[in-house]
């Protein structure tokens, strides 16, 4: 039997990718890279890598007879250059010597494995918010056309026709389930059109706007579109502190990152806030705040301004990101 080192290396790489994806799902860290709705797709990729691994195993060892047959066929199928007689059949059987080009190729493939296994999943933070534009991004979001609404053709008055019921208890139970088992979060961002409208109705009628992770992006969008409508309302939410150059000493941004597909398309959403204790707070500090909604101008755009009445430091959530609510079509 002949052992083929490069074929064995390729099998090991396939198994490593399978193991990495499995580990990310087992620990729940997969939610720090992709939207949970793609969890099934990444699990399928892990299974595919495992299948390819078993196929690759068959190429690691070959019998002496198989090697001789292969070498005989190879010698007759190669096209020979008249000057240096190099084989130009156009593919690599895995037995050719290591070259700089081949080493570079293997390094590119192995690099994400090394970082995935040995470096902890890093959460997007204030430094990334600054690179993405910070408050300028929030200002641009408020300048976008109202046509970006999830349902721009829905009759606003139709919400009154829905049966009145409260989702608050269900949302609190949902948050408790996430803390106990992060995998519960997968797929839970999909609701019906009626439930979507009911959430907006509760936003308009509740005495205190509670911005839990499930409704954060929806409520943020609604408040930003019509700040005057919500001015003076009390609000509760949590996020990380981001301080941008140029803000007053009593100002900061309480921010979150919204993930549509994966961290590559992450966008910052958050509220410009005023707080007397602002100088005591630092970037990336997670806080839970209660305040009153007001309005402020920034670079020609009107932004919601939260006048914080009380705050407390909290631990970074296991799932620090927000995900858009998907509406069931059928």
Tally the residues of the chain: 330
Q: Is residue 177 scored above 60 in pLDDT?
A: no
CATH number of the domain bearing residue 298: 2.40.50.140
Provide the residue range defining the domain that includes 49.
1-62+99-122
Average pLDDT of the residues of the chain: 80
Q: How confident is the model at residue 143 (pLDDT cuts 50, 70, 90)?
A: low
Whether residue 108 sits in one domain with residue 245: no
Contact criterion met (CB below 8 Å) for 295 and 306: no
Whether residue 118 sits in one domain with residue 131: no
Alpha carbons 56 and 71: distance in angstroms, whole number: 20
Whether residue 267 sits in one domain with residue 138: yes
In a domain, 77, yes or no: no
Q: Is residue 174 scored above 70 in pLDDT?
A: no
Residue-wise DSSP of 50-107 = HHHHHHHHTTTEE-HHHHHHHHHHHHHH--B-TTT--B-SS---S-SPP-HHHHHHHH
pLDDT of the residue at 140: 67
In a domain, 132, yes or no: yes
In a domain, 301, yes or no: yes
Q: Whole-model pTM?
A: 0.71
Whether residue 140 sits in one domain with residue 105: no
In a domain, 87, yes or no: no
The per-residue pLDDT for range 8-64, each reduced to its tens digit, is 999 999 999 999 999 999 998 898 899 888 889 999 999 999 999 999 999 998 876
pLDDT of the residue at 2: 85
In a domain, 90, yes or no: no
Q: Looking at per-residue confidence, does 279 or 152 come out higher?
A: 279
Q: How confident is the model at residue 95 (pLDDT cuts 50, 70, 90)?
A: low
pLDDT of the residue at 186: 45
Alpha carbons 192 and 252: distance in angstroms, whole number: 36
Whether residue 241 sits in one domain with residue 114: no
The alpha helices in 78-214, defined as continuous H runs, are 100-118, 126-132, 135-143, 168-180, 193-205
Whether residue 116 sits in one domain with residue 235: no
Whether residue 241 sits in one domain with residue 140: yes
In a domain, 74, yes or no: no
In a domain, 110, yes or no: yes
Q: Which of 78-82, 164-168, 217-221 has the lowest mean pLDDT?
A: 164-168
Q: Which of 64-78, 244-258, 291-305 has the lowest mean pLDDT?
A: 64-78
Whether residue 109 sits in one domain with residue 209: no
Q: Is residue 171 scored above 70 in pLDDT?
A: no
Mean pLDDT of 108-115: 93
Q: Is residue 318 scored above 50 in pLDDT?
A: yes
Residue-wise DSSP of 258-276 = E-SSBGGG-EEEEEEEE-T
pLDDT of the residue at 176: 52
The per-residue pLDDT for range 258-277, each reduced to its tens digit, is 999 998 899 999 999 999 99
pLDDT of the residue at 4: 86
User: How many structural domains compose the chain?
Assistant: 2
Q: Which of 70, 87, 122 is the C-terminal boundary of a domain?
A: 122
DSSP assigned state of 149: S
Whether residue 9 sits in one domain with residue 132: no
Whether residue 112 sits in one domain with residue 258: no
Q: How confident is the model at residue 300 (pLDDT cuts 50, 70, 90)?
A: confident
Give me 249's structure tokens: 């000493």
Whether residue 316 sits in one domain with residue 218: yes
Whether residue 55 sits in one domain with residue 193: no
| CA Rg value for the chain | 27
Q: How confident is the model at residue 91 (pLDDT cuts 50, 70, 90)?
A: low
């Amino acid at each position: 039997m002949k052992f083929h080192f490069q074929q064995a290396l390729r099998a090991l790489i396939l198994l490593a990718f399978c193991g990495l994806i499995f580990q990310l799902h087992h620990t729940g860290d997969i939610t720090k890279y992709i939207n949970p709705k793609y969890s099934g797709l990444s699990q399928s990729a892990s299974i595919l890598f495992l299948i390819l691994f078993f196929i690759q195993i068959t190429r690691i060892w070959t019998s002496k007879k198989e090697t001789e047959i292969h070498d005989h066929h190879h010698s007759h199928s190669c096209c020979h250059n008249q000057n240096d007689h190099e084989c130009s059949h156009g593919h690599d059987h895995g037995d050719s010597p290591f070259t700089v080009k081949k080493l570079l190729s293997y390094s590119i493939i192995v690099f994400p494995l090394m970082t995935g296994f040995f470096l902890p999943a890093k959460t997007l933070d204030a430094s990334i918010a600054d690179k993405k534009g910070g408050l300028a991004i929030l200002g641009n979001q408020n300048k976008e056309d109202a046509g970006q609404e999830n349902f721009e053709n829905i009759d606003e008055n139709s919400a009154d026709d829905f049966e009145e019921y409260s989702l608050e208890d269900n949302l609190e139970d949902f948050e408790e389930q996430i803390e106990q088992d992060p995998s519960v979060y997968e797929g839970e961002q999909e609701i019906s059109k009626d439930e979507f409208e009911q959430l907006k109705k509760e936003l308009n009628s509740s005495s205190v706007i509670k911005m839990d992770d499930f409704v954060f992006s929806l409520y943020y969008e609604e408040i930003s579109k019509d700040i005057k409508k919500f001015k003076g309302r009390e609000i509760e939410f949590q996020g990380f502190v981001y301080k941008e150059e140029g803000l007053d000493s009593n100002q900061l941004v309480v921010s979150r990152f919204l993930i549509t597909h994966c961290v590559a398309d992450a966008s910052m959403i958050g509220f410009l806030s005023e707080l007397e204790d602002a100088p005591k707070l630092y970037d990336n500090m997670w806080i839970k705040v209660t305040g009153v909604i007001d309005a402020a101008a920034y670079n020609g755009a009107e932004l919601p301004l939260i006048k914080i009445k009380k705050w407390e430091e909290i631990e970074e959530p296991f799932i620090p990101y927000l995900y858009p609510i998907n509406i069931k079509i059928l």
